[in-house]
Structure 1
Amino acid sequence: MRSGDLLRQLDQRLLPPLTRAVARLGDSSSRSGVLSWAALVSSAAVLATAVWASGDAPVGDRTVGEVTRVGVVDGDSVPGYLRSAAADLAALPTAVPTSGDGTYALVTLEAYLPPQRLAAVLGDVSVSTVFGRVPLPGRQTEIVKVPALRVPEDVVAGMAQVAVRKDTEAADYRARAASVSGDGAAERELRERYVSGAAVAAAEAAAYRTGCACVYAAVVRATPGELRGVAARPDVRAVDPAPEVYRLERTVFTPPLPEQRDVVRPPADNGPTPEATPDGRDELATSTPVPSASVGESSEPAPVVTNSSPEPSSAEPSEPAPPPVTTSPDADGPVPLAPAPS
């Protein structure tokens, strides 16, 4: 209660009795002494109330700025993470929380799955976000987060948004490549990097447009019993419960990729690097790959965006319907290619 309200209530309760007492004692010889004591008591009460109310000021949210992280980080042992997640899931109390909303958890998949396969894996629990990436041989590709309350409908719509953005990105890189003048070594290298970035972006766009097998993790919310049921399904690699999470906007989820089997490393899929065609275009740009779930190698967790492009392109579209697809929080745009691990 604010101090002003308390003072008003104090006036309403104390002043009428004091007024009546003063009226009764008005003709007494001790009138001046009674009035003095009444004034002193009233002043002391008002001062004490004001001091107490000033110490009861509202306190702001002390959790502002705090971020909870769930998953793996660069250099983590993947087998160790999987064992820890399994132990945390087994330790969850069976009783449903009093809120009835369940516990947030990070579900990591054994392989990259297409949207239609997700219904059988996640369809009976509440889903908030899925993570996707197009594995291309010898290339780093961007990790995206797709808001998905409905599976698979929202996942398909989110992939379509990514495809449109990737088409724009590819066109931007082609324009940059065409604007590079000169035939020196530096100019040729820069032009080749732009061409390569355009090729990878075009390949990503083609994959997402066809509903590729690119989803590898999801954030869900369910009861402990339901989470254990999800963990027992064949396509699920791990369920990492996060009972400490109450607000998703202050949580960073970092799921391991399917190809991570030993230690978390930056993603660059193993395989031959496509060679440029005689007209200067990368072979990736002329094909429409739909990545299979069997591609594998050690790579990096979701929060680190690992794009294939040499320079940032325009920002993603904001808040269309359905909810916009976002990239990871640690970067805003493409970064230079790194060589594929040997």
Structure 2
Amino acid sequence: MLTVPGEPESGPRDGAEDISGLWSTRTMRAMFAAVAGVVVVVLIAVGAMQPPRSEGVSTDRLGPEQGESVADYLARARDSLNGTDSAERWALVSFTEYQTPQRLPELAGGLRIGRVLYQVPLPRVQTQLVTVQVPATEEVVLRSAEDAAWQLLDQLRRTVAVDERTEKITTVSVARLREGCACAVGLIVRGTLDQLRNLAARNGVRAVEALPADAVAGAFAVVPLLPDATGVIGPAPDDGPVPER
């Protein structure tokens, strides 16, 4: 067989080159896996030092708990106003009596109102709590009962199956709210601790409970202390007749 000078001879290869290439590939894969493992460990360590940001879930809450005595809640609300810092915070104002929309600006003591809470009082009949978001204008606060009525009516229209009693309760509640009834049970206001303490001392105010200064607007639950609540907080009776209007 002729051999061309300067070119490798044809024929079967030794095999050493293939084995060497195989070991080289395996070595590179092992090194890559080791490096990747180190990167994963580093990322885990960084994640442990820097926990993921909250998704906005909040446990902040204003108002009495089920099973809590009214006396204990009133004491807890007073304790929430302790402090000397000047940061503004959200607070729940609970009333001594059910109030009309016209009295709300006065009861807020000049503080910004963020929400108005309505619940139409009917003897031994459970009615729905309605929360109305309001911007910082007195005009919107004064018409908040009408907005509460629209919320109830819209909910009734969108509900597929409603029993006769629930429909009647809602209808009566809407009618009374539109008439400007004394049905407001509380406010969410914003102010400093000094302002909130002064507010708690005003006539017509039963309690003021403040959240921490870092609480986010709209990210906390609210259950007002109803004006006629006494003893221990629990489900209201619902065995009374629903009035016609």
Normalization by structure 1: what TM-score? Answer: 0.52
Q: How far is 1:115 from its partner? A: 1.0
Aligned position for 2:218: 249
1:141 equivalent in alignment to 2:123: no
Conserved 8 A contact 2:146-2:177: yes
1:76-105 Cα offsets, whole Å, 9 max, x none, are 11111101211332x221x413xxxx1222
Q: How far is 1:254 from its partner? A: 2.0
- C-alpha distance in 2, partners of 1:56/1:262? 52
Q: Secondary structure at the match of 1:250?
A: coil
Counterpart AA for 2:110: D
Q: Secondary structure at the match of 2:104?
A: helix
Aligned position for 2:65: 73
1:2-61 Cα offsets, whole Å, 9 max, x none, are xxxxxxxxxxxxxxxxxxxxxxxxxxxxxxxxxxxxxxxxxxxxx9xxx7x967677531
Over aligned residues, Cα RMSD in angstroms? Answer: 3.2
Query: What is the count of residue pairs matched by the alignment?
Result: 205
Conserved 8 A contact 1:130-1:215: yes
Q: Secondary structure at the match of 2:180?
A: coil
Aligned position for 1:96: 86
Distance change (3 Å), C-alpha of 1:218 and 1:162: closer
1:211 equivalent in alignment to 2:197: no
Aligned position for 2:15: none
Aligned position for 1:86: 78
Distance change (3 Å), C-alpha of 1:69 and 1:146: same
Distance change (3 Å), C-alpha of 1:80 and 1:251: same
- C-alpha distance in 1, partners of 2:71/2:105? 27
Q: How far is 1:267 from its partner? A: 2.6
Conserved 8 A contact 2:124-2:236: no
- C-alpha distance in 2, partners of 1:110/1:229? 16
- C-alpha distance in 2, partners of 1:172/1:65? 28
Q: How far is 1:273 from its partner? A: 2.0
1:61 equivalent in alignment to 2:56: no
Distance change (3 Å), C-alpha of 1:88 and 1:64: closer
Aligned position for 2:91: 105
Counterpart AA for 1:69: R
Counterpart AA for 1:71: G
**Which structure has the greater CA radius of gyration?**
2
1:305-332 Cα offsets, whole Å, 9 max, x none, are xxxxxxxxxxxxxxxxxxxxxxxxxxxx
- C-alpha distance in 1, partners of 2:213/2:89? 9
- C-alpha distance in 2, partners of 1:69/1:75? 15
1:170-222 Cα offsets, whole Å, 9 max, x none, are 6789x979xxxxxxxxxxxxxxx51x333212111111112221111111111
Q: Which of the residues 157, 171, 196 maps onto 1:227?
A: 196
Counterpart AA for 1:87: D
Distance change (3 Å), C-alpha of 1:210 and 1:111: same
Normalization by structure 2: what TM-score? Answer: 0.71
Counterpart AA for 1:198: E
Q: How far is 1:75 from its partner? A: 1.0
Q: How far is 1:247 from its partner? A: 0.9
Greater RCO (Cα-Cα under 8 Å, separation 6 or more)? 2
Q: Alignment identity in percent?
A: 28
Unaligned runs of 5+ in 1: 1-46, 178-192, 275-283, 288-342
- C-alpha distance in 2, partners of 1:134/1:211? 11
Q: Secondary structure at the match of 1:130?
A: strand
Counterpart AA for 2:135: L
Distance change (3 Å), C-alpha of 1:269 and 1:229: farther
Deviates more, 1:238-247 or 1:220-229: 238-247
Counterpart AA for 2:187: A
Q: Which of the residues 128, 150, 153 maps onto 2:136?
A: 150
- C-alpha distance in 1, partners of 2:186/2:238? 18
Counterpart AA for 1:237: R
- C-alpha distance in 1, partners of 2:157/2:132? 23
- C-alpha distance in 2, partners of 1:255/1:118? 15
Counterpart AA for 1:62: S
1:209-257 Cα offsets, whole Å, 9 max, x none, are 1222111111111111111110110110111121254213331122211
